[in-house]
A and B are shown apart, each in its own frame.
Chain A
């Protein structure tokens, strides 16, 4: 399996809702990432997990809460989001050796209403 699987593909949520994004990989990659991408902009790093531990948080608001239950699974819990949080949320994984590229999922298109 050489894929990163993200669910759901689309999500519409209200500003008072709580929802979660899920990301899964079975390539044995030791590092997993969450990126946020606005339309016609490059992806921006949000969080990095290395060996299931949070290693980088790019000053992301606390309404985004990441979780890594095991080495194959990464979640992003969402609560009290704002309309400006609407974006494509991308998950990625890597071996972390510097010799190989990152593998990205197809993303979750999030709309906050």
Chain B
């Protein structure tokens, strides 16, 4: 079953602009992760933020987590055409044995 929703469902921006995607979830979590998927193939892990963390950075990625609102955001700065993909948030349960995905955001970065 799907853990929550992502918005927007689709986002189109110009190269060099920033892209922000939001994710909401329903249950208590151990951590929240973001993944990228190109052309319906395998998912690539981007970043993990634990439930006791509020913000994390990795290169051009910035992730925030608000456990009181059960929400997270992913910011991609200075986007590139190669960032065009689907982005999914996923939450790992407290038992650490189950990863549940949100609906995903399809990002298109125009050159």
- Beta-carbon nearest neighbor of A97 in chain B: B96
Residues of B contacting A: mostly:
strand
- Beta-carbon nearest neighbor of A31 in chain B: B97
B25 in the interface (beta carbon within 8 A):
no
Residue among B30, B35, B40 making CB contact with A88, cutoff 8 Å: B40
Contact status A102-B42, CB under 8 Å: no
Chain B residues 6 to 62 lying within 8 A of chain A, measured CB to CB, are 30-31, 33, 35, 40-48, 50
Contact with B along A21-61 (1 / 0, CB 8 A): 00000000001010001010111110010100001101000
Count A interface residues, CB 8 Å: 31
In this complex, the member of B41, B48, B88, B100 whose beta carbon has the largest number of chain A beta carbons within 10 angstroms is B41
Residue among A33, A37, A56, A99 making CB contact with B48, cutoff 8 Å: A99
A65 to B99, CA, bound (A): 20
Q: Which residues of A lie under 8 Å from residue B98 when comparing CB positions? A: 45, 48, 56
Chain A positions within 8 Å of B, measured between CB atoms, are 4, 31, 33, 37, 39, 41-45, 48, 50, 55-56, 58, 88, 90, 92, 94, 96-107
Some 5 contacts from A to B, beta carbons below 8 A apart, are A43-B101, A50-B97, A97-B96, A100-B48, A101-B33
